[in-house]
Structure 1
């Protein structure tokens, strides 16, 4: 059968995810952190307490079991459309969470569908809420049941120069580093697989671009303190190739809020509809 609209509200989990100091460092290196960010890339620097990047929950949260509740669809036509994260309190460098994921919405786009999942992750021992994530998945060929098309967005980049532009050059082997945090999709490592998918070579994980962008926001808006960022939401707009330079444009829109987008050297926007909120 096709996608099941009645599955909205279905849940999966709780699923246990654990991490240690090495995992946090691998994630930080995978999203481009380096020797000028030792709080994220080392665990034993004198006078520096190890921190965890606030985007790391995206590799710890979603329970893959939720996909079984969608109904049937062609996995080759599934595209990561949007990602959000809310860090309720900074992650410790070592810990474990129990994550429950639910299908929050399912929208009929005609020839395609948009499925939205939301996850909550609580500390395994204290049951304290640590973070939430929101994921939107675009599935080609899965629409047409006559359902709600979903809300339209009112986001637009402010009509002025960005308050900050942070530029990072990704490494030629960036995807090979990032995949060590868990996403082993061969689209990001196998040249033959990437060509079959229509790309000249393996592309960068969308969530890696998301992590690069999160670092830019963290340093530009929160002084590099992981406790300063509360939420980060964005829409994936275009693929990135390892080695591309990323430019993150940031506009302050309030005391505790900013809009952002990420673009490549040629002006192609790769992340859009960006909203970041800070802890006051």
Structure 2
């Protein structure tokens, strides 16, 4: 069968050493909308994302894309025991947790494991976890842990082998008004800019490919929405201080088309922020973007 859990679950996907620079951090922040509002070019708070120098900070979501930031090919799907294609796959969920502030430049190694596969009957959910440590891969063991990522992909047309269905605890927003609400206007070129951060999937750039996949136009990268929402919450509830974020988890609940607006609502709850993200305005007003959003505070 196309997915063989006996081979896939627990498979070591190997390690890769990568480097990043301040320029990569700046491009990533621009890709997720930093500096896009009127006056941001003069705002010290906004310039912490977009101006290199001693005040530059790194939003933790950068850790998700840093290992593949310089890739120019569509993402590969050569997972052990999984014969699947890019057209079958959508990003299901993503989380990142950091051990401390991510440096504005450096070299690190990520080691990735395929941790689980859920059988949803007509689809499968494949989970991966990656641990990033400082420095190149050394024979005497890994360096200090910098951050950890966990993600799932939803594979259409697979499943049905009688495996575990898995479980997920939905995040319920508090029964009161949000502590923060903001709206971000996705620019027409947002996906074209964000794809320079290492995700060249043609679904986000090629109109013909998008139509063949069932969409009327290219859609925004899920991880771009992910970064936008974390940035909006950081600015709105944490004083724009990226070092106040210890982690961010979310489930991808819907698509965004360039030109639409994303409404972000956040509730401060002790050591975390619970949030929602939906489309604002237009024919798709209220449509979900991200669900089960939780920012863990440092």
Name the TM-score, length of structure 2 as normaliser.
0.88
* d(CA) in 2 for partners of 1:228, 1:213: 15
Residue 4 of structure 1 corresponds to 4
Q: CA-to-partner distance for each residue in 1:221-271, whole Å, 9 max, x for gaps?
A: 3221221100110001110011111111111222x1121110111111110
Structure 2 residues not aligned, in runs of 5+: 36-40, 137-141
Query: Quick check: 1:258 aligned with 2:273?
Result: yes
Residue 16 of structure 1 corresponds to 17
- Match of 1:84, SS state, is strand
Alignment root-mean-square deviation, CA: 1.8
- Match of 2:161, SS state, is coil
Residue 271 of structure 1 corresponds to 290
Equivalent residues of 1:39, 1:50 under 8 A apart: yes
Residue 50 of structure 1 corresponds to 56
Residue 117 of structure 1 corresponds to 128
Residue number among 72, 85, 90 corresponding to 1:74 in the alignment = 85
Equivalent residues of 1:66, 1:102 under 8 A apart: no
Q: CA-to-partner distance for each residue in 1:159-189, whole Å, 9 max, x for gaps?
A: 2211111211111100011011110111111
Name the TM-score, length of structure 1 as normaliser.
0.93
* d(CA) in 2 for partners of 1:113, 1:94: 37
Identify if the C-alpha distance between structure 1 residues 204 and 65 changes in structure 2 by more than 3 Å, giving closer, same or farther.
closer
* d(CA) in 2 for partners of 1:124, 1:221: 33
Identify if the C-alpha distance between structure 1 residues 152 and 93 changes in structure 2 by more than 3 Å, giving closer, same or farther.
closer
Q: CA-to-partner distance for each residue in 1:134-178, whole Å, 9 max, x for gaps?
A: 101110111011011001424222222111112111111000110
Residue 41 of structure 1 corresponds to 50
> Which residues in structure 2 correspond to 1:81-96 (within 5 Å)?
81-96=92-107
* d(CA) in 2 for partners of 1:12, 1:164: 40
Quote the offset at 1:66 in angstroms. 7.5
Equivalent residues of 1:232, 1:276 under 8 A apart: yes
Quote the offset at 1:61 in angstroms. 4.2
Residue 148 of structure 2 corresponds to 132
Q: CA-to-partner distance for each residue in 1:35-90, whole Å, 9 max, x for gaps?
A: 3411111114xxx5111121101112479778421421233111101010101111
- Match of 2:193, SS state, is helix
Residue 170 of structure 1 corresponds to 186
